[in-house]
Structure 1
């Protein structure tokens, strides 16, 4: 009886030391673990007749970690699936129920502006909270703020036609000026951002918005397809659908970057700045490329 109790106590201590993550340590995604293989001729280790953790138990713990990552990946897929479905619902509701022809006061336009506003908030929040990458985040925030101002061009046209250009230029100049105050930090953080998967999704969203939607929405393109049955609403529907999809992907990228920052905040080391974490990642890739 006492022997079994001792075995249980020792195993609990081992689990505490090796498998329970302290609060200050980064999550498994940011730490490289090296697990020593078990001896080939044995599945368990013995000390004075006491059996310790078996290889199957360790394998089970590793598998549970892998399954968490897999489930997290599926969660990201379902989140993205819901996001890309929202543009279709918005366009359908405008055309079928509201019959507004996708005007500037349509649900689709409001949805685009909301996505852009949330994107601005994501990078703006990081700029306010984290001084070590503030210059880069201010630059990105200014860029998407200019895009948001452009979306309100019809409202600003009430002042004078094309008035949106002036506040957009002012915001752009202020953002560039601030980012230039520490150009080294801005470039360094930008370089790190280009190596992340969030940059890839951002590029995809920008390409859909600025290139594909414009080409896909050309009047001559749809006139050639529909011929005498050409209807401008069909062309507008296709263009706006792709455009709002681009905004959705951009928002997905911003949310991913924002979530990555919040995860670092949760597991940050004492006294560490986000730029320090970036430097470590940058040094890792630099060492690999130099070999």
Structure 2
């Protein structure tokens, strides 16, 4: 699409839809299902599904683009580690905190693969950061790794809300923001996949 105004309008509408989707999922959890965004909730399940799809898309791309394979496996491993962290409740059934070991194994595998093919790692990283959708992914990661953590600080909501609802409000804010970030990362990965498929 050559018209930059139309492109930016479409981008705005896409980002707005991502934000509305995250808020709508919270409404589904709290108003319809009447749960408190616990480990098994629509919000958590969608987060995990989006992370799985994002990681899978980069892994698929690593198979299709040999020249960029190292970077794509590294990226797939990164999102895979985030998925394992989100599934910590499941891994706790093995024993508490065991998710760390599984995430570490995946991280080591991804790093070793990238280190063994340094040219495909660097070429892939250059290609990745030059993607039109990369800023969307970067923004999503800032939301997940920084903004949601800051907004999830217990003391903020203890001071603002107090009483028995502190935990619920904290979870709503933190998980809703995280879902928005995961949605942005998935949208960026899909846009990259479509572009790569068109130019392949």
Q: What is the TM-score when the length of structure 1 is the normalising length?
A: 0.64
Question: Equivalents in 2 of 1:154, 1:228: separation in Å?
Answer: 26
* 1:222–1:230 contact (8 Å) kept in structure 2: no
Asked if 1:108 corresponds to 2:43, the answer is yes
> Secondary structure of 1:159's partner?
coil
> How far 1:93 sits from its partner (Å)?
0.8
| Structure in which a larger fraction of residues adopt helix | 2
1:116-175: CA deviation from partner (whole Å, max 9, x where unpaired): 111012111111112111111111111111111111111111111111112211111111
Rate the CA distance shift 1:229–1:159 in 2: closer, same or farther, 3 A.
closer
Question: Equivalents in 1 of 2:164, 2:47: separation in Å?
Answer: 29
Asked if 1:163 corresponds to 2:98, the answer is yes
Structure 2 match to 1:41: none
Question: Equivalents in 2 of 1:227, 1:115: separation in Å?
Answer: 33
Which consecutive aligned stretches of 4+ in structure 1 deviate over 4 angstroms post-superposition? Answer: 69-73, 227-230
> How far 1:176 sits from its partner (Å)?
0.8
1:210-229 matches, cutoff 5 A: 210-227=145-162
> Secondary structure of 1:161's partner?
coil
1:37-48 matches, cutoff 5 A: none
1:179-222: CA deviation from partner (whole Å, max 9, x where unpaired): 11121221232123223332222221111111111111111111
The answer for unaligned runs of 5 or more in structure 2 is: none
Structure 2 match to 1:252: 187
> How far 1:82 sits from its partner (Å)?
2.3
Structure 1 match to 2:144: 209
Q: What is the TM-score when the length of structure 2 is the normalising length?
A: 0.91
Of the three residues 174, 194, 197, the one matched with 1:239 is 174
Instruction: Kindly report the root-mean-square deviation, in angstroms, between the aligned alpha carbons of the 2 structures.
Output: 1.9
Aligned length: 200
1:216-252: CA deviation from partner (whole Å, max 9, x where unpaired): 1111111222356863211211111111111111112
1:140-155 matches, cutoff 5 A: 140-155=75-90
Rate the CA distance shift 1:160–1:227 in 2: closer, same or farther, 3 A.
closer
Question: Equivalents in 2 of 1:105, 1:227: separation in Å?
Answer: 25
With a CA cutoff of 8 Å and minimum separation of 6, indicate the structure with the bigger relative contact order: 2
